[in-house]
């Protein structure tokens, strides 16, 4: 846990460097993006990251949750960059300060945050961790925006893509039983409100695929006409498919009989051994019906990721995944790579690679209470679906076996794939 001042300060600096590198290559008109439901204007999102850090690290207090007593150092910031009050579509028409002023705001806010952190108490550092993890999450969102818009990826060095092909998927069987799902109060780790608190869940026996579904496996569904066969799709899925005109995953293209995929501003051959990515939950469910399988529930997923519910933070134990190839944007795109350490049960890539859709809708745990960041979870309960596990662009300090991500089921811009379960254990 990031409780040490020096370690937390270093992480805040690194996260800001990462944030700035995401958009550091944009020039001129590339900063002007079309109004889309699934992206934000780049200048708004960058300034919002600084606003959130300033708000929770300098302005928010339990007796002053609106931060009214300490105004922002950027005039007008509350009316421009507070995601709780600034409607999404309005973000394209606001009168923003010059880009140079936004970068100055980010620099100055970080400097003041580090000064306040140096003088902070142990029991008050949760606000600085919240700002860090919020910025880490936005780093992935910035990358998603670049991909959605077909812009070039950031100029960051990557490890070589592995050449190994994954072996055949096999089912790993779990006997089931009762386990504590969610964050424990006494484990000393940061937890967001939707992870609180650990509560008993009973799991029936089940069998889960050892790895995510690959492009080759999903391509078989496409080439057998799976997108045109209604029996594979739920009613909601059929409505989405017809409205979207979907006949394959959103970034797949067929050229001279061969399949390729758009990756940022380029086309690359479809690599059959890589996990399928940027499919929505409707597509994942349709593949599962075609294959005679199903998506795991989020409880099954967590039970499996924590080695039969025994409580490990990661599938391989409690060792931090700081050098995992499948996280931190170390690879330019998802690939099947070894985990940082052997996993006792034989599952692969539960953490990193691609986010994994589950069959579960996003709902509060028993006794849910909002945290200071009150808008993080509650507005999205019962409309969004749960994903687990992180992707190649997720920050390693953020994700673990209890982490809950959530998106609308039709979102296919997320770096998400899925793994399946057998219909019967």
pTM for this model (two decimals):
0.97
Give the model's pLDDT for residue 403: 97
Q: Assign 322 a pLDDT band (cuts: 50, 70, 90).
A: confident
Please name which of 287, 309, 316, 296 lies closest in space to residue 207, comparing C-alpha atoms.
Answer: 296
What is the mean pLDDT of the segment spanning 181-206? 95
Residues 132, 15: contact at Cβ < 8 Å? Answer: yes
CA-CA distance, 184 to 78, in Å (whole number)?
35
Give the model's pLDDT for residue 1: 65
| E strand or H helix at 14 | helix 5-22
Which structural domains are found in the chain, ordered by start?
5-148 (1.20.120), 157-425 (3.90.1580.10)
Residues 292, 209: contact at Cβ < 8 Å? Answer: no
Residues 215, 165: contact at Cβ < 8 Å? Answer: no
pLDDT per residue as tens digits for the range 63-108: 998 898 999 999 999 999 999 999 999 999 999 999 999 999 999 9
Decide if pLDDT at 164 tops 80: no
Please name which of 231, 258, 261 lies closest in space to residue 249, comparing C-alpha atoms.
Answer: 261
């Amino acid at each position: 846990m990031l409780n040490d001042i020096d370690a937390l300060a270093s992480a805040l600096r690194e996260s800001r460097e990462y944030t700035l590198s995401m958009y550091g290559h944009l020039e001129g008109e590339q900063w002007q993006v079309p109004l889309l439901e699934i992206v934000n204007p780049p200048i708004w999102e960058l300034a919002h990251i600084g606003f959130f850090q300033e708000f929770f690290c300098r302005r928010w207090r339990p007796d002053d949750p609106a931060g009214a007593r300490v105004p922002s150092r950027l005039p007008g910031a509350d009316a421009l960059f507070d995601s709780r009050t600034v409607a999404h579509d309005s973000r394209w028409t606001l009168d923003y300060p010059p880009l140079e002023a936004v970068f100055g705001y980010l620099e100055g806010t970080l400097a003041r945050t580090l000064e306040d952190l140096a003088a902070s108490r142990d029991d008050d550092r949760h606000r600085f961790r919240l700002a860090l993890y919020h910025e880490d999450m936005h780093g992935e969102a910035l990358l998603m925006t670049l991909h959605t818009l077909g812009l070039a990826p950031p100029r960051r060095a990557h490890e070589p893509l592995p050449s190994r092909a994954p072996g055949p998927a096999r089912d790993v069987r779990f006997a089931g039983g009762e386990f504590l799902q969610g964050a424990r109060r006494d484990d000393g780790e940061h937890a967001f409100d939707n992870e609180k608190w650990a509560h008993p869940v009973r799991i029936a026996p089940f069998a889960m695929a050892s790895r995510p579904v690959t492009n080759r496996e999903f391509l078989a569904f496409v080439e057998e006409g799976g997108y045109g066969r209604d029996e594979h799709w739920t009613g909601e899925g059929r409505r989405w498919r017809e409205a979207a005109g979907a006949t394959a995953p959103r970034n797949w293209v067929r050229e001279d009989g061969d399949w390729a995929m758009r990756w940022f501003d380029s086309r690359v051959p479809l690599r059959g051994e890589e996990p399928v990515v940027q499919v929505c939950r409707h597509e994942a469910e349709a593949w599962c019906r075609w294959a005679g399988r199903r998506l795991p529930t989020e409880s099954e997923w967590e039970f499996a990721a924590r080695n039969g519910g025994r409580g490990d933070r990661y599938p391989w134990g409690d060792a931090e995944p700081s050098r995992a190839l499948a996280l931190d944007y170390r690879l330019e795109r998802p690939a099947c790579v070894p985990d940082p350490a052997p996993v006792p049960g034989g599952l692969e890539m539960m953490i990193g690679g691609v986010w994994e859709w589950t069959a579960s809708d996003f709902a509060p745990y028993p006794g849910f209470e909002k945290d200071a960041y009150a808008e993080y979870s509650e507005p999205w309960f019962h409309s969004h679906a749960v994903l687990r596990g992180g992707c190649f662009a997720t920050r390693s300090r953020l994700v673990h076996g209890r982490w809950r991500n959530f998106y609308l089921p039709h979102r296919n811009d997320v770096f998400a794939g899925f793994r399946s379960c057998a219909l019967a254990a």
